[in-house]
Amino acid sequence: MNQNDAIDLATLLCSRLCHDMLSPVGALSNGLELLASENDPEMRQRCFELLEQSAKISTDKLKFFRLAFGAAGGFGEMVEVAEPKALIEALVGDAKRITVNWALDEQKLPKPAVKVLLNFAQIGLDALVRGGTLDIGVEARDGAHEIVVRATGPKIGFDDTVGRALQGELSASDLTSRTAPAHMLSLLAEQAGGGLQYQLSDEALILGAVLPQPEGMIG
């Protein structure tokens, strides 16, 4: 990836973050305006509850994107699995009508694997447009981390261009804010010497990744 492509990718990731943050931050602004003009005690209490909810959603999303897109310098090279698990569970709680099941055999993961795990979960959540189940598994095998996210529900909404981005089939000029995270994952997998794949049916979307463990971390 040349410098211009890297800048374009960073710009698109920022656009995706801003798009996802616009709704909860906008709700905060609207809530404050209502609170300033409302005198009824019951309605003011309701405004406070909405503000609290919007603030929580905003905080959850910022913490998620910090680790999913950013450098997350405070974590070191290895991240406790409890961190991404808590972030995903917070998003699932905000989304409603979605159940998450876990099968995590590792206590710590390298940052690239954590980014894949978080972004796979986000793609799976986006696909469950009418709710459903998100099954998430991570396992270390033969010197590599295997990550699988399976989204099942009554309706699966998945843009084929996201799948093409995961496969590294989109050029930098074809990327959008919607496909940029998937393209980032394809670059991470390529850099690690691993690979990504997905399977789509009417009932399920399955996302898989195999990422060789960095040298010196294979124990």
Does residue 219 register a pLDDT over 50?
no
Q: CATH no. for residue 101?
A: 3.30.565.10
Length of the chain: 219
Taking the C-alpha atoms of residue 95 and residue 137, their distance in angstroms, rounded to an integer, is 20
Give pTM, 2 decimals: 0.90
Residue 116 lies in a domain: yes
What does the alpha-carbon distance between residue 34 and residue 37 come to, in Å, rounded to a whole number? 5
Per-residue pLDDT tens digits for 146-175: 999 999 999 999 999 999 999 999 988 899
Tell me if 217 is assigned to some domain.
no
185-216: pLDDT as tens digits: 999 999 999 999 999 999 999 999 999 987 65
For residue 104, the model assigns a pLDDT of 93
Instruction: Tell me, yes or no, whether 218 lies in a domain.
Output: no
Residue 142 per-residue DSSP state: T
Q: With the C-alpha atoms ordered 93, 98, 101, 104, is the resulting torsion angle positive or negative? A: negative
Output the pLDDT for position 204.
97
Domain limits for position 126? 3-212
Alpha-carbon span 116 to 145, nearest angstrom: 11
In 3D space, the residue among 112, 124, 122 whose CA is nearest the CA of residue 194 turns out to be 112
